[in-house]
Structure 1
Amino acid sequence: MNTSPTLSMVRRAAVAVALTVAAGVAQAHEGHGTHGLTAGLAHPFAGADHLLAMIAVGVWSSVALPSAQRLAGPAFFLIALLAGAVLGVQTGVGLFVEAGVALSVTALGMLLLGRSRLPAYAGFALTTAAGLLHGLAHGAGWPLDSTFAAYAVGFVAGSALLHAAGLLAGGWLARVPAWVWRLQAAGVGAAGLFMFASRI
């Protein structure tokens, strides 16, 4: 069976991330981390910026990518999400990150408008950048009384659920009239601009 180089690379990176997170969970002390797992799982659902961005990535991947590569968009996002969270915990983040998260929603709305007219590598670059910004925000929200590994498992799992919802929604949106598609894509972009204006 032939596997595309892009999908193969994503699979290798995803396995590496999964092993890293699993190793961190294995080191967590018994009785600790429940709060972190719950907080991490809830975080992607707690704000419209995270909800819209992660669903948008799934929708774009469903509509713009070949069926064999459909999981690549969410995979790039999740890998960057985890990397950004680790960076956010180590360095801390400022207000610029929240503004960047809002702008990433607008950028993903524009990606939806472009649909399959943009090359896949441009979509992967954008979803990776968005994942990094959202990861920085997740890292800043880490509850310090819990293990980071448990928190990370939670927000990666919650984000993956939202990507899955986007993939399912994309299958339906691919069949709607063009004006409905443009309307929902513009709505995502406008929501990002509104959030950006409220954060500057």
Structure 2
Amino acid sequence: MRFLLAFLATVLTASSATAHTGAMTTGGFTTGFLHPIGGLDHVLAMVTVGLLAFHMGGRATWAVPASFVGMMVVGGVLGAAAITLPLVELAIVLSVVVLGAIVASGRALPSILAIAVVGVFAVFHGHAHGAEMPVAASGITYGLGFVLATALLHGAGLLAGYALARFDSGAKLMRVTGAAASCAGLLLLAGTV
């Protein structure tokens, strides 16, 4: 229960707009690290990736988050190189809706499908990070920052899955958490959060 309260406090204090305004003007590792945790859309998506990985179990526990991180780096390079992708912000918010809905369904996707879905969304998350890298920042240290923050958020999702499973062997809490993430994504999509 303490974990859920801490999770909610983190999610509710993250701003949905901070990560995409160019508000972060310093460079390097710290800015890269703060970018994913500064936006509610990123936090929800990345924690939900961890929940999905826990829910699937087995090799998916590491393969799903690893695919997100790897494809996010690809997207980060595209963004830093000013290669445009269509509808980046929409894809980021849709990632929250879709990933939350998958967890809420209570069904485990085939691993290859989960890796593909997560990987596609990760490209858009990475693009946003790379496109908003400050001009003076080192791409490597900035990239290491957002990779570490993302991995930690995935880890938080895995820990949340573990905590939820300990309290609820029927996985109702996991499904409710996925539904809550998906609903939050819909609210972000509607512009109300």
Q: TM-score, normalised by structure 2?
A: 0.78
Q: Extract unaligned runs of 5+ from structure 1.
A: 1-33
Structure 1 residue 51, shift from structure 2 partner: 0.6
1:57-105 Cα distance to aligned partner (Å, 9 max, x none): 1111112121x44111110000000000101122354782111100111
State the percentage of identical aligned residues: 38
**Which structure 2 residues correspond to residues 1-200 of structure 1 after superposition, within 5 A?**
35-66=27-58, 68-93=59-84, 96-175=87-166, 176=168, 177-198=170-191
Aligned length: 165
Question: Are the equivalent residues in 1 in contact too, given 2:164–2:171 (CA < 8 A)?
Answer: no
The verdict on how the C-alpha distance between 1:160 and 1:117 changes in structure 2, with shifts beyond 3 A counting, is closer
Counterpart secondary structure, 2:191: helix
CA RMSD of aligned residues (A): 2.0
Amino acid corresponding to residue 75 of structure 1 in structure 2: A
- Once residues 141 and 198 of structure 1 are traced to their aligned partners in structure 2, the CA distance between those partners, rounded to angstroms, is 21
Task: Give yes or no for contact 1:60–1:115 (8 Å, CA) kept in 2.
Answer: no
TM-score for the superposition, normalised by structure 1: 0.76
| Contact 1:57 1:73 (C-alpha < 8 Å) held by counterparts | yes
Q: For residues 119 and 69 of structure 1, do their structure 2 counterparts lie closer, same or farther at Cα, with a shift above 3 Å needed? A: closer
What is residue 12 of structure 2 aligned with on the other side? none
List runs of 5+ in structure 2 lacking aligned partners. Answer: 1-25
Contact 1:58/1:74 (8 A) holds in 2: yes
The runs of at least 4 consecutive aligned structure 1 residues that moved more than 4 Å come to 92-95
Q: 1:106 and 1:88 mapped to 2: Cα distance? A: 23
